Chain A
């Protein structure tokens, strides 16, 4: 049973002449094998920073990352072993592949690196075979032909398949998919997501699916965490978080997602209502929500339910069993059992 456990992860970025910006604040979570955990939130909420910290591409300010209950080494072979087991897939397949190298090169390197610790490299034909296997596993056929191509000869969806194959090259236990389909056309998004889902099942991988799209988060995950300004404000079973969102921020996200099934007259009415609610001068309000709040609930400047108590930071409160929201509205239900 392999799991990735994160405890109180905090990531800070230094700012010129000021206190560091806390991009991720005390995040804890567990990725279990064979399961997908979705991390959703708007731009700037810290989602990608979580992925970068978990890939050890940047060093957290505080917190622990444990894989199978073992702490990750800071450097050397311990860190290399961790990186073999935990692989990221990045958002932009137009930027994450090197335009100078062919696909074989992209895939051969992780294969060789992951073999190095077993002692001994693969020879030419063995390596070709391994590259072909990888390409077949992401449905890029015929593999021999694809391996000879350069990234510019492939479509966006094909490139993202190569990026997935590259992540699989080290034989990882955990995949961190950072908005893997947001740069792709709607018509091919589902194929990539279905592929990731199938790989997760076949290889019993633990997966973190980072996205701003609530609909696919619901369909491709068992559990959802909602992130706002570096904090997890809500977490729970996927259907429950999306169908009955508890935190006002999640409710806002759910209401903002386009709903193509609603009649247009209804949508036009909703649009007018939102306009009226925003009032004629929303520019200062829009800017106000960008400003930092040190204490208290970070969402309170945008929150329709803001109360006096929101000046103090809410703890995780239980909505229903297994469904937590960091919001004072759920104070009556009592604090979550840790």
Chain B
């Protein structure tokens, strides 16, 4: 499991303009072979931009301004993703790292059949396949995601939302990639279909052994599906740890806020509050912690000193040099401590 397939170091992305938007700021993370890495955060936190950067799919005005992404294949081949260009880049994309785009509803071409869209992929990336081989492979892929292979003749509008999402997943898996990036793959679907798709992703991953970067604003989903969880805020990863640890002992106040943002379906009714305020404007320089203005626990250094992640969270509360007493009980570990703190509130 410690076999790392994708490693990003100090990645930064900017959207060019008169006042550039620093959408991703100095992100370092690792994706291990076969794991699901969840990236959670609210709209505009840079999670999709980060995904596009990792897959080298950024389009102007967005551009990588720093850092490196390194890919290590099953065959041991090392690829410096950030240095790829031209034919090499084309060969890398979709073959090694593919993507399931946000709202598959719109990611499919409405005027051509599903089969035709599969053919596009193979003609570009696997020119050695002839027509009948492409057809056979397309049907196999549809069957793999539990869609009737006869649907190769269907047009996207003839499929339900869940089926379109399955087709998009089948397309991402067409070239047997080692990493699949899923950007909000279930957001437009209702709960029953969402659960089916998640089950499907789990099954395929177990069968085919690819790694997944799963991006969503819905933390509750990631608690279910991911092995490792990264929480992003204002372009930075503020917390990164195994999912169980984040769920039971969140260390960053933002994560704690997110965990409290969805009502428990079966638990006792309690007052629910979300996270008041809005994220900062990423066109402006941010001195100190970007979350400080919305943070219940902010103290003096938060406004001026940028917290670096050492261990689980990028938060001054966990820095003994700045806070001698240690973090408040809500953030010092354990669901039990959390419950207790809430009970006395």
Contacts and interface: CB of A to CB of B under 8 A. Distances in A.
B161 to A, nearest CB: 7
Contacts of B221: 258
Contact of B191 (A42, A243, A271, A283): A42
Given A186-B219, A187-B258, A259 B43 contact: no
Nearest to B202: A271
B148 A283 contact: yes
Interface stretch (B20-28, B58-66, B106-114, B273-281): B273-281
Contact of B273 (A155, A191, A218, A257): A191
Contacts of B247: 260
A185 B198 CA distance: 20
A275 B199 contact: yes
A215 B146 contact: no
27 contacts: A42-B192, A43-B189, A43-B193, A155-B278, A185-B217, A186-B219, A187-B257, A187-B275, A189-B274, A190-B272, A191-B273, A191-B276, A216-B263, A219-B263, A242-B265, A252-B192, A256-B191, A256-B195, A258-B218, A260-B219, A260-B224, A271-B198, A271-B199, A275-B199, A283-B147, A286-B163, A290-B160
A282 interface: yes
A42 B263 contact: no
Interface in A254-310: 254, 256-261, 264, 267-268, 271, 274-275, 278, 281-284, 286-287, 290
Nearest to A156: B43
B173 to A, nearest CB: 16
A282 B146 contact: yes
Interface string A197-215: 0000000000000001111
B35 to A, nearest CB: 13
Contacts of B262: 186, 189-190, 215, 260
A260 B195 CA distance: 13
A219 B218 CA distance: 18
Given A185-B43, A219-B272, A283-B148, A258 B224 contact: yes
A127 interface: no
Contacts of A256: 191-192, 194-195
Given A186-B262, A187-B258, A252-B192, A264 B244 contact: yes
B343 interface: no
B191 to A, nearest CB: 4
Contacts of B148: 283-284, 287
B174 to A, nearest CB: 18
Nearest to B244: A264
Given A258-B224, A274-B199, A286-B146, A43 B275 contact: no
B223 A258 contact: yes
Q: Is the interface of A mostly helix, strand, loop or mixed?
A: helix
Interface residues of B, number: 48
Interface of B: 42-43, 143, 146-148, 160-163, 189-195, 198-199, 202-203, 217-221, 223-224, 243-244, 247, 257-259, 261-267, 269, 272-276, 278
B185 to A, nearest CB: 14
B263 A267 contact: no
Contacts of A189: 261-262, 274
Given A42-B192, A186-B217, A274-B199, A267 B224 contact: yes
A185 B42 contact: yes
Contact of B274 (A191, A218, A267): A191
A215 B265 contact: yes
Nearest to A157: B278
A156 B42 CA distance: 11
Interface string A139-160: 0000000000000000111000
Contacts of B199: 271, 274-275, 278
A213 B187 CA distance: 13
A194 interface: yes
Of A185, A243, A252, most B-chain CB atoms within 10 Å:
A185
B258 A186 contact: yes
Interface string A230-260: 0000000000001100000000111011111
Given A260-B223, A290-B160, A187 B261 contact: yes
B261 A186 contact: yes
A177 to B, nearest CB: 16
B190 A212 contact: yes
Given A42-B191, A42-B193, A283-B147, 17 more contacts: A42-B190, A157-B278, A185-B43, A186-B219, A193-B272, A216-B263, A218-B269, A252-B192, A256-B195, A258-B218, A258-B220, A258-B224, A259-B266, A260-B247, A260-B262, A261-B264, A275-B203
Contact of B220 (A260, A274, A278, A283): A260
A152 B262 CA distance: 27
Contacts of B259: 260
Contacts of A284: 148
A58 interface: no
B219 to A, nearest CB: 7
Contacts of B147: 283
A62 interface: no
Contacts of B194: 256
A310 B259 CA distance: 42
A293 to B, nearest CB: 17
Nearest to A274: B199
A188 interface: yes
